[in-house]
């Protein structure tokens, strides 16, 4: 049996003689062992080792001097804060007697298929920790989480708890990539050398946040090539306050620890109670940062995003927000639906303004009842009209929020996050409902369940337009109130899961003022995300580029909106706007009432062309060929279908300079021995370009594009034709 076959047959193994655990997939090996102190110690994480390679037993690092004790210099797989522990711990707690020392020792384990549970216990108290590992053999990505159980006779308090720590071998040439941003400027890729000390990525906002995203990548050598190089990468599946710490210790070992944010965190654990962490996923590749992204994309679509029972292609969507804002009514929405259907749209979404006293953003949130003045006969006539136009119907909701000027708030002012007697800070004229409360959770579920049960709704655009403030929960005991950070998110996940169970054909988009809540946790309960409120097609190139490092194009909604764009007042052609948006899941948000007949004709053409390439774009392999970062005048991406039968090249020129030609573009991911013929969706190669050539030709020689001017774009499709070169 070959190495790959053995890895597939036996992903996880344990050597009882050396007490070494080993995880093998086709291209990756991960190993840890039980050392002589009965602590778990990481041994290896990197390229695939031969099955016959026997890793030596784990041994603690004895340290050079008393200032570098073994507890801090040995690569512990999951460390309690105790003994001479100075690095970032995974678990820190306080026992009832004031003791804060925690030293975890191995007790037992179970292997079942592609999962492993390792049981640890404190050396003095019956405080148990179960480490859970789940392996995806197809990508080599490992998910890790921890379960903390209090079997003592008294309550204890957890001060901080991580899902996992990932240890890399000692080296001095590591660099870190991570994603930062703000509203309308999300997904900005940052790169910095890893040096001694800590780099902290976090959100203290109650949700994932725009400022940082819970994703990281670490490369060795500083090259950051798209197609080669050792890269370790990971993402935390949590939609609340989170923290990831990248630490280089005194011996240049790198440790990445992630989980709940310990800021303002305390979790009391009574005897017999337990708490589980989110899952921290991570992987390795020797194929560069491009391959790291493709592995994550494949993993997300196969293992994270809900299945039906297989991934659905995202329909072409129209959203009415930019056309009408809050001024929605039946006649106006029906007219927009007719216009949207005429260009081939498959899903019509009515945005804000349809409910309660919602004429602007000052009132109505929380009152999820159809406004009788705008829709005197309810939503059914509009939904029937949309269905008659061969589209399904979607609706905007923001169920976690409430306006003080609403019937819900007047009836239940205690339902929001608050500290009694203190001011309640509003954001966008709204407050945050405390979903950690069971009565609030049940109410939110009921109003959404009723809405979906009484209307044929196929899609919810689930928005979340502010961060937390005054995160109080005065209805519970003071020592329980900081549970709000976790219980809120768990109840949010519960609502989404129950809605999906009761309404399995309803799809959901996660939106939070754009990309403020995008992570593997929310993606486990939703079908797509809104990466940014910024729909400027030029800005979107860098936003979408950054997004692609962590998340798949299939879940990335991208809209064609009006020109000049409302964000920057920048004017661009409809061609440029469509091609920018066709790199993800295509939507249209422009005011169709202002379009010319020529606009409608062009849009109809692009929508039809997008449907023909949609499988390659959404479910294929993404290659970043030319980066738009650092004010580059060029950008190019390529999407290759899983079977290699089609490739779609999108190329953009932001500003011609000094008569320089557009850089030659070399494709990737083609079958070198197959033949491919190109056809143009928009733009063209230079005169004399071969119409048909081998995959090897397009990848090695490349293609020259006839792009000149400002804000120009081209899209070329390469289809495999019969025969070999």
Binding-site annotation: residue ranges for substrate? 183, 351-352, 428, 461-465, 511, 533
Q: How far is it, in rounded angstroms, from Cα 274 to Cα 147? A: 7
Burial of 694: CB neighbours in 10 Å, binned 0-12, 13-18, 19+: buried
Q: Tell me how far apart the alpha carbons of residues 167 and 33 are, in angstroms, rounded to a whole number.
A: 13
SS3 string, 232-282, reads EEEEEECCCCEEEEEEECCCCCEEEEEEECCCCCCEEECCCCEEECCEEEE
Question: In Å, what is the CA distance from 9 to each residue of 24, 147, 302, 511, 601?
Answer: 10, 28, 20, 40, 54
Describe the strand order of the beta sheet including 692-694 as a list of residue ranges. 621-626, 634-640, 646-655, 710-724, 674-682, 692-694
355 near 384, Cβ under 8 Å?
Answer: no
Three-state DSSP string of 205-226: CCCCCCCECCEEEEEECCCCCC
Q: 599: part of which helix (H) or strand (E)?
A: helix 597-619
Is residue 533 annotated as a catalytic residue, yes or no? yes
Query: b/e per residue, 411-445, with b = 16+ CB within 10 A?
Result: ebeebbbbeeeeeeeeeebbbbbbbbbeebbebbb
* Tokens encoding 3: 């190495």
Beta bridge partners of 640: 621, 647
β-pair type (507-510, 528-529) = parallel
What is d(CA 365, CA 470) in angstroms, rounded to the nearest whole number? 19
DSSP letter assigned to residue 482: G
Q: Which of 24, 367, 519, 533 is catalytic?
A: 533
Contact 459, 508 (CB under 8 A): yes
Buried b (16+ CB within 10 A) or exposed e, 6-29: ebbeebbebeeebbbbbbbbebbb
H-run or E-run covering 5: helix 3-9
Residue with tokens 């390229």: 47
DSSP 536: -
Question: Out of 90, 230, 367, 463, which one is annotated catalytic?
Answer: 463
330-342 and 380-388 are packed helices; what angle lies between their axes, rounded to 10 degrees? 10
Query: Could you give the CA distance from residue 347 to residue 488 in angstroms, rounded to a whole number?
Result: 31
Is the CB of residue 211 less than 8 Å from the CB of residue 180? yes
Listing DSSP states for 58-116 in one string gives P-----SSTTS-HHHHS-BSS-BS-SS--S--SEEEE-TTS-----EEEEEEEEETTEE
Number of residues written out for the chain: 725
The set of residues, in sequence order, having a beta carbon less than 8 Å from that of 641 and lying 6+ positions away, is: 615, 616, 619, 620, 647
Instruction: Answer yes or no: are the C-beta atoms of 617 and 553 closer than 8 Å.
Output: yes
For the stretch 181-205, what's the b/e string if a residue is b when 16 or more beta carbons lie within 10 angstroms of its beta carbon? bebbbbbebeeeebeeeebebbbbb
- How far apart (Å, rounded) are the C-alpha atoms in residues 278 and 10? 26
d(Cα 703, Cα 690) in Å, to the nearest integer? 9
Q: What is the DSSP string of 612-679?
A: HHHHHHHHSEEEEEE---TT-SEEEEEEE-TTSSEEEEEEEEEE--TTPPPPPB---S--TTEEEEEE
CA atoms within 13 A on the CB side of 213: 35
User: What is the token pair recorded at 575?
Assistant: 């061609």
Query: Which residues are designated catalytic?
Result: 463, 533
């Amino acid at each position: 049996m070959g190495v790959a076959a053995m890895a597939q047959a036996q992903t996880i193994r344990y050597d009882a003689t050396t007490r070494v655990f080993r995880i093998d997939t086709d291209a990756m090996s991960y190993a840890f062992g039980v050392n002589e102190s009965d602590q778990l110690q990481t041994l290896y994480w990197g390229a695939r080792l031969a099955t016959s390679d026997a890793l030596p037993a784990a041994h603690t690092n004895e340290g050079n001097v008393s200032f570098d004790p073994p507890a801090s210099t040995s690569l512990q797989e999951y460390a309690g804060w105790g003994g001479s522990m100075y690095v970032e711990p995974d678990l820190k707690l306080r026992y009832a007697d004031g003791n804060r020392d925690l030293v975890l020792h191995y007790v037992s384990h179970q292997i079942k298929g592609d999962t492993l549970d390792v049981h640890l216990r404190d050396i003095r108290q019956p405080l148990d920790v179960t480490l859970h590992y789940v392996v995806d053999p197809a990508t080599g990505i490992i998910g890790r989480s921890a379960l903390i159980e209090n079997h003592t006779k008294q309550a204890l308090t957890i001060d901080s708890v991580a899902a996992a720590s990932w240890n890399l071998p000692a080296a001095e040439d590591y660099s870190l990539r991570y994603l930062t941003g703000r509203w309308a400027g999300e997904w900005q890729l940052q790169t910095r050398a890893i040096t001694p000390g800590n780099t902290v990525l976090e959100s203290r906002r109650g949700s994932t946040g725009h400022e940082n995203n819970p994703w990281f990548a670490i490369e060795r050598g500083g090259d950051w090539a798209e197609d080669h190089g050792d890269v370790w990468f990971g993402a935390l599946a949590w939609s609340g306050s989170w923290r990831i710490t990248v630490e280089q210790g005194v011996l240049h070992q790198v440790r990445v620890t992630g989980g709940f944010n310990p800021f303002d965190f305390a979790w009391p654990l009574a005897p017999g109670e337990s708490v589980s962490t989110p899952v921290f996923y991570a992987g390795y590749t020797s194929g560069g940062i491009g391959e790291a992204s493709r592995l994550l994309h494949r993993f997300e679509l196969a293992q994270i995003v809900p299945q039906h029972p297989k991934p659905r292609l995202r329909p072409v969507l129209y959203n009415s927000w930019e056309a009408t804002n809050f001024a929605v009514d039946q006649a106006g929405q029906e007219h927009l639906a007719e216009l949207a259907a005429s260009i081939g749209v498959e899903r019509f979404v009515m945005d804000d303004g349809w409910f309660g006293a919602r004429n602007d953003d000052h009132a109505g949130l929380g009152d999820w009842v159809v406004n009788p003045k705008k829709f005197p006969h309810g939503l059914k006539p509009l939904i029937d009209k949309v269905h008659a136009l061969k589209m399904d119907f979607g609706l905007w909701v923001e169920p976690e929020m409430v306006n003080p000027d609403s019937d819900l708030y007047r009836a239940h002012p205690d339902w929001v996050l608050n500290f009694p007697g203190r001011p309640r800070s509003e954001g966008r004229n709204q407050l945050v409902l405390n979903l950690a409360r069971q009565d609030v959770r049940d109410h939110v579920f009921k109003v959404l369940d009723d809405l979906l049960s009484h209307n044929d709704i196929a899609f919810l655009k689930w928005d979340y337009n502010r961060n937390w403030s005054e995160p109080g929960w005065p209805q519970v005991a003071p020592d329980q109130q900081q549970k709000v950070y976790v219980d809120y998110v768990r109840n949010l996940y519960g609502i989404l899961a129950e809605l999906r169970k009761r309404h399995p054909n309803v799809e959901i988009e996660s939106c939070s003022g754009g990309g403020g809540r995008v992570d593997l946790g929310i993606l486990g309960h939703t079908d797509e995300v809104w990466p940014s409120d910024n729909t400027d097609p030029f800005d979107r190139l860098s936003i979408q580029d950054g997004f692609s490092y962590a998340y798949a194009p299939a879940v990335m909604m991208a809209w064609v909106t009006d020109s000049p764009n409302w964000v920057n007042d920048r004017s661009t052609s409809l061609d440029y706007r469509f091609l920018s948006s066709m790199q993800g899941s295509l939507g249209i948000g422009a005011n169709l009432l202002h379009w010319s007949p020529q606009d409608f004709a062009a849009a109809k053409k692009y929508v039809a062309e997008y449907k023909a390439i949609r499988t390659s774009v959404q479910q294929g392999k993404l290659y970043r060929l030319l980066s738009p970062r650092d004010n580059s005048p060029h950008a190019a991406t390529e999407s290759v279908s899983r079977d290699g039968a089609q490739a779609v090249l999108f190329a953009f020129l932001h500003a011609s300079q000094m008569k320089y030609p557009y850089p030659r573009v070399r494709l990737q991911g083609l079958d070198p021995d197959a033949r491919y013929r190109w056809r143009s969706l928009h733009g063209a190669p230079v005169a004399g370009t071969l119409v048909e050539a081998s995959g090897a030709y397009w990848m090695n020689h490349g293609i020259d594009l006839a792009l000149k001017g400002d804000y120009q774009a081209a899209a070329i499709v390469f289809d495999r034709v019969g025969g070999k070169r």
